[in-house]
């Protein structure tokens, strides 16, 4: 399916809640009990099996600095590669259906040290730069709109998707990444789509089948509050978490994301974000992009991504990050921990 980049009308993006926003306006979900931030979180006296399994103290502040949307455009790929080499980010995830996937696959084949997962993609949010499924062209799948592209918003996907078709699509994306030679380290999901109530069981099952860690934050409202989840039920989420933890699956405690602020506020805002990371394991979902194509894709918000790239390449900001006493890991470390635990479990059953 051909996808072209065009300049979007300046007001077009106002239709969609920002995929990169503030950690605020936390929605309420009927029937869902969520742990209060700061309670039941790791401290010096509580054993944290993921952190201790990785060799850290239970009360440590450990972060995964993650590049989302790799493969969406060339600028995202270039930023991921450069920032990985600098150590400013520790890993990223690729959008397999997007136009620049092939470049990422070639990059990953040449640099085996790159820590890269699959950013399972079932939505296509921009106005004039779009993508669709790789597994089907059937409208009965409920995966795409009248133009043949993924739905732009989660509620649209939720009201149309056929779960069996979504499973085939997510599986096809994983298999294509593996077949391209990418050493897939984890699964996460673009705009949180795989966490829809009718899809989360599939998402978990794929993680189990491929023996890969999945992004499923324990502090769920830190995740859904920055995404398009208003009105979408999260019933059963805590039971899913409990099942994964019981089986030794390594999960992140906290979630933070690209703040999406004016350029003049970016330095202070990112310093506050880094300095304020809590004890435990935090996933920081970043969206760095070099200048060039992103300004045509999303003119009104391109600076969110280019400012992030600028800061993460800035020596003074990187020195600031190194002084905060935060340990960093990528998802490859979690994958290795998971597979080691699964191997031990299998051995103990023999």
Residue 347 has pLDDT above 50, yes or no: no
Instruction: Give 167's contacts (C-beta < 8 A, 6+ positions apart).
Output: 202, 206
Instruction: Give 323's contacts (C-beta < 8 A, 6+ positions apart).
Output: none
Number of other residues whose CB lies within 10 A of the CB of residue 340 = 12
Residue 280 has pLDDT above 60, yes or no: yes
- What domains, with CATH codes, occur in the chain? 41-349 (3.20.20.370)
Q: Note the pLDDT of residue 5.
A: 33
Render pLDDT for 50-82 as a digit per residue (tens, 0 to 9).
999 999 999 999 999 999 999 999 999 999 999
Render pLDDT for 153-184 as a digit per residue (tens, 0 to 9).
999 999 999 999 999 999 999 999 999 999 99
Q: Note the pLDDT of residue 46.
A: 79
Q: Annotate 155-180 with DSSP letters as a single string.
A: HHHHHH--HHHHHHHHHHHHHHHHHT
Range with lowest mean pLDDT among 30-39, 58-67, 126-135, 219-228: 30-39
Counted residue by residue, the chain has a size of: 350
Q: Note the pLDDT of residue 22.
A: 33
Q: Evaluate whether 115 touches 148 at the Cβ level (below 8 Å).
A: no
Considering the chain, what is the average pLDDT of its residues?
88
pTM of the model: 0.88
Render pLDDT for 135-147 as a digit per residue (tens, 0 to 9).
999 999 999 999 9
Q: Note the pLDDT of residue 346.
A: 59
Tokens at 268, concatenated: 């202070």
Helix 315-322 crosses helix 263-275 at what angle (to 10 degrees)?
Answer: 20
Q: Note the pLDDT of residue 236.
A: 86
Helix 302-313 crosses helix 263-275 at what angle (to 10 degrees)?
Answer: 60
Highest mean pLDDT among 40-49, 113-122, 222-231: 113-122
CA–CA gap between residue 97 and residue 176 (Å, rounded): 10
Q: Note the pLDDT of residue 16.
A: 37
| Band (21; pLDDT cuts 50, 70, 90) | very low
- DSSP class of residue 12 equals G
pLDDT > 90: percent of the chain: 82
């Amino acid at each position: 399916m051909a996808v072209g980049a065009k300049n979007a009308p300046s007001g077009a993006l106002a239709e969609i809640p920002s995929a990169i926003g503030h950690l605020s306006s936390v929605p309420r979900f009927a029937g869902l009990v969520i742990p209060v931030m700061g309670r039941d979180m790791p401290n010096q006296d509580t054993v944290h099996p993921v952190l201790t399994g990785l060799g850290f103290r239970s009360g440590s502040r450990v972060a995964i600095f993650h590049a989302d949307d790799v493969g969406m455009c060339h600028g995202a790929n270039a930023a991921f590669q450069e920032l990985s080499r600098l150590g400013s980010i520790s890993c990223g995830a690729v959008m397999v259906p997007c136009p620049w996937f092939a470049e990422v696959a070639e990059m990953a084949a040449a640099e085996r040290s790159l820590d890269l997962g699959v950013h399972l993609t079932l939505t296509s949010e921009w106005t004039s730069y779009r993508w669709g499924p790789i597994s089907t062209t059937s409208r009965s799948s409920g995966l795409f709109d009248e133009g043949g592209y993924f739905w732009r918003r989660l509620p649209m996907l939720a009201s149309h998707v056929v779960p069996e078709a979504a499973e085939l699509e997510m599986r096809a994306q994983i298999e294509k990444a593996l077949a391209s030679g990418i050493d897939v380290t984890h699964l996460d999901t673009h705009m949180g789509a795989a966490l829809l109530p009718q899809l989360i069981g599939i998402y978990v099952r794929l993680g189990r089948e491929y023996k890969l860690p999945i992004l499923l934050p324990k502090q769920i409202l830190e995740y859904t509050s920055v995404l398009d989840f208003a009105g979408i039920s999260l019933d059963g989420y805590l039971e899913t978490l409990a099942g994964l933890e019981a089986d030794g699956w390594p999960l992140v405690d906290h979630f933070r994301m690209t703040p999406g602020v004016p350029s003049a506020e970016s330095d202070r805002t990112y310093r506050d974000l880094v300095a304020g990371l809590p004890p435990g394991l935090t996933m920081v979902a970043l969206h760095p992009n070099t200048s060039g194509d992103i300004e045509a894709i999303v003119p009104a918000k391109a600076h969110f991504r280019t400012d992030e790239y600028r800061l993460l390449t800035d020596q003074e900001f990187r020195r600031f990050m190194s002084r905060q006493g935060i340990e960093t890991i990528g998802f490859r470390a979690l994958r290795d921990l998971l597979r080691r635990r699964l191997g031990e479990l299998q051995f103990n059953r023999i």
